[in-house]
């Protein structure tokens, strides 16, 4: 079974429910301001953004508000339950600039060079997002002058090292806990 089919599994969706609750909890909001983290990634009005592994949408709604009506946000996750919840949140917030897609980010199906900023927030390291496959796909979809922003949870020093060693991205800065890379 591939990752996309796994995301439909009732058992898996049930198992991930508590994690989903924690991801959107008040405690997390109290500990972490999503807007500040998104600003660390340079998210700005008018951008086209891909959010990999949007989960239950902790970053999705604030990101959509930051990019505004002229921006476009693709929020992608493999878990059916999560994408449904994010779609509901997007709808009740009245946002028209978000497309929620249930899909494996290792094969996004997006056009090449179509994205200004990729957000890898809280998704690395993750077993179903191996860097050896994820980075080439991110490199493909990011515009030549585009950026990839990584917020690590848990903090893992080998991830920034592996990104640098991939030869696909150049480290630019670390702001508000976010590692920013430009596409080579
Ligand atoms: C730890 S959660 C983080 C969610 C969210 N970014 C946040 O910080 O609240 C990791 C998310 O990545 C998703 N994910 C894992 N592998 C994926 C893949 N190959 N493609 C898309 N999403 C994936 C999981 O379903 C999960 O929602």
pTM score, two decimals?
Answer: 0.93
Q: How far is the CA of 56 from the centre of ligand 1 (A)?
A: 9
Helix (H) or strand (E) holding 128: none
**Please, which pLDDT band fits residue 74 given cuts at 50, 70 and 90?**
very high
Which ligand 1 atom is at minimum distance from the Cα of 82? 27
Q: Which atom number of ligand 1 is nearest to the Cα of residue 57?
A: 9
Question: Which segments of 22-167 are extended strands (E)?
Answer: 48-52, 72-77, 98-102, 115-121, 142-151
Query: Residue 104 CA: which ligand 1 atom is closest?
Result: 20
Using a 6 Å cutoff on CB, does residue 105 contact ligand 1?
A: yes
Q: Is the pLDDT of residue 2 over 90?
A: no
- Binned at pLDDT 50, 70 and 90, residue 45 comes out as very high
Task: Please indicate whether residue 123, judged by its CB atom, sits closer than 6 Å to ligand 1.
Answer: yes
Instruction: Reduce the DSSP state of residue 114 to 3 states and report it.
Output: coil
């Amino acid at each position: 079974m591939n990752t996309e089919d796994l995301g439909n599994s009732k058992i898996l969706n049930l198992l991930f429910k508590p994690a989903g609750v924690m991801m959107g909890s008040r405690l997390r909001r109290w500990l972490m301001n999503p807007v500040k983290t998104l600003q660390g990634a340079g998210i700005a009005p008018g951008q086209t953004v891909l959010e990999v592994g949007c989960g239950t949408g902790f970053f999705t709604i604030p990101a959509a508000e930051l990019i505004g009506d002229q921006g476009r946000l693709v929020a992608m996750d493999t878990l059916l339950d999560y994408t449904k919840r994010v779609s509901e949140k997007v709808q009740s917030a009245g946002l028209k600039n978000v497309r929620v897609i249930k899909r494996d980010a290792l094969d996004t199906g997006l056009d090449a060079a179509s994205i200004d900023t990729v957000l890898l927030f809280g998704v690395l390291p993750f077993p179903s997002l191996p860097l050896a496959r994820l980075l080439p796909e991110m490199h493909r979809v990011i515009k030549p002058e585009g950026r990839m922003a990584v917020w690590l949870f848990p903090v893992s020093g080998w991830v920034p090292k592996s990104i640098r060693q991939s030869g696909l991205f150049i480290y630019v800065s670390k702001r508000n806990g976010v590692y920013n890379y430009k596409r080579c």
